Amino acid sequence: MSPHDRWRDYLAPVSLYPTAVPVRATHRLSALLRSCHPEPTIAVTVFVTALSAASGQGAGGAVAAGSAVLAGQLSIGWCNDAVDAVRDTASGRRDKPLAGGALRPRTVAVAAVLALLLCVPLSLLSGVAAAAVHVTGVVAGGWAYNLVLKSTLLSPVPYAVGFASLPAFVTLGAPTPAWPAWWAVVTSALLGVGAHWVNALPDIADDLATGVRGLPQRLGPVACRRLTLVTLLAAVAVVTLGPPGEVRLPVWLCATAAGCAAAAGAAPWWPTTSRWPFRAAIAVAALAVAQLLSRGSAIA
């Protein structure tokens, strides 16, 4: 079954999927929030909001940018769970609200579309150019991955595209719009690819069993761990050495901490089902963004 067929079927009657247990509205809302992939959604939103403030947009501009990113990330997370509903059920992923029957697939699919539509006017608050970059990143990044590229050798590409669009969204939405510095874009793209490796790592066996054969699944868990380390350390190196000027002690300390977190996340002692490598990647991303924040307006 093609990704397009699966997405069409998620709007079909609920009888095709696990029976949704009748629950109160508050419980449905809680399940819907858990279905949006809250960890990366919150992390990316906070990072972009802080980066917008550091780039000189002020509180209003930072809130506008953060709201747009939140809508975009919600749409990506819900789209992902809707597309993966049948596969997660087959894999016994009871931690997923859809696989556990707490939500109807149609509910999550509609939420994904509505969040994507809301992302457009919220992005326009930062200007037409910034909105075009951000919406393109959401669609060509997260949605393209979910619907088309997840099971292909190009699976890291949408992560790179989606993350690379974020600093451009920030700098193009600044009071004086400008394209971001090359090192900010490359750092973000590398962080996106690193997130792809660690996000796929715990699910490689289940993915292969259900027919998902993206690049991480074809390479296997050992290669994924090594690529996580290399990719995230490359991101740290670029954000440390790429900007012009002297590299000061706090920057070196931040880079060292990020390197240690990346090494810990890619360490061989984690079981393949562990989510800690993913959390380590979030920590590295936070430290990399801290460096971006320390550069302030230099990212433009």
Residues 276 and 151 grouped into a single domain: no
Residues 185 and 159 grouped into a single domain: no
Alpha-carbon span 26 to 226, nearest angstrom: 42
Residues 62 and 193 grouped into a single domain: no
Alpha-carbon span 286 to 265, nearest angstrom: 14
> What pLDDT, on the 0 to 100 scale, is given for residue 25?
61
**Summary mean pLDDT of the chain:** 84
**Number of domains the chain is built from:** 2
Length of the chain: 300
**DSSP H or E stretch at residue 104:** none
Alpha-carbon span 153 to 68, nearest angstrom: 30
Residues 11 and 94 grouped into a single domain: yes
Helix, strand or coil for residue 173? coil
Q: What is the DSSP letter of 140?
A: I
pLDDT higher than 60, residue 22: no
Residues 20 and 158 grouped into a single domain: yes
> What pLDDT, on the 0 to 100 scale, is given for residue 89?
79
> What pLDDT, on the 0 to 100 scale, is given for residue 149?
96
**Structure tokens given for 13:** 């009657």
Domain of 206, CATH number, reads 1.20.120.1780
Residues 135 and 45 grouped into a single domain: yes
Supply the DSSP string of 141-163, one letter for each residue: IIIHIIIIITTSTTTHHHHHHHH
Q: Is residue 272 part of a domain?
A: yes
Q: Which ranges constitute the DSSP H helices of the chain? A: 3-9, 25-34, 38-54, 58-83, 85-90, 105-124, 128-137, 144, 156-172, 182-200, 204-209, 215-219, 221-241, 249-265, 276-295
Closest CA to 278 of 286, 98, 103, 181: 286
How far, CA to CA in Å, does 221 sit from each of 95, 179, 204, 270?
22, 37, 7, 11
Q: What is the DSSP letter of 91?
A: T
Across 6-15, 101-110, 288-297, least confident range: 6-15
> In this structure, what are the phi and psi dihedrals at residue 36, rounded to the nearest 5 degrees?
-90, 5
Which pTM does this prediction carry? 0.85
Q: Widest CA span of the chain, in angstroms?
A: 62
Q: How confident is the model at residue 18 (pLDDT cuts 50, 70, 90)?
A: very low
Residues 128 and 211 grouped into a single domain: no
Residues 190 and 127 grouped into a single domain: no
pLDDT in tens, 135-179: 999 999 999 999 999 999 999 999 999 999 999 999 999 888 999
pLDDT higher than 50, residue 23: no
Q: Is residue 61 part of a domain?
A: yes
Residues 126 and 193 grouped into a single domain: no
Percent of the chain with pLDDT over 90: 40
Supply the DSSP string of 36-54, one letter for each residue: T-HHHHHHHHHHHHHHHHH
Alpha-carbon span 289 to 300, nearest angstrom: 15
Alpha-carbon span 202 to 181, nearest angstrom: 34
Q: Can you give the residue range of the structural domain that contains 25?
A: 1-163
Residues 77 and 107 grouped into a single domain: yes
> What pLDDT, on the 0 to 100 scale, is given for residue 236?
86
Closest CA to 203 of 68, 74, 88: 88
pLDDT in tens, 201-249: 888 888 898 889 999 999 998 888 888 888 988 988 898 898 888 788 8
Residues 130 and 225 grouped into a single domain: no
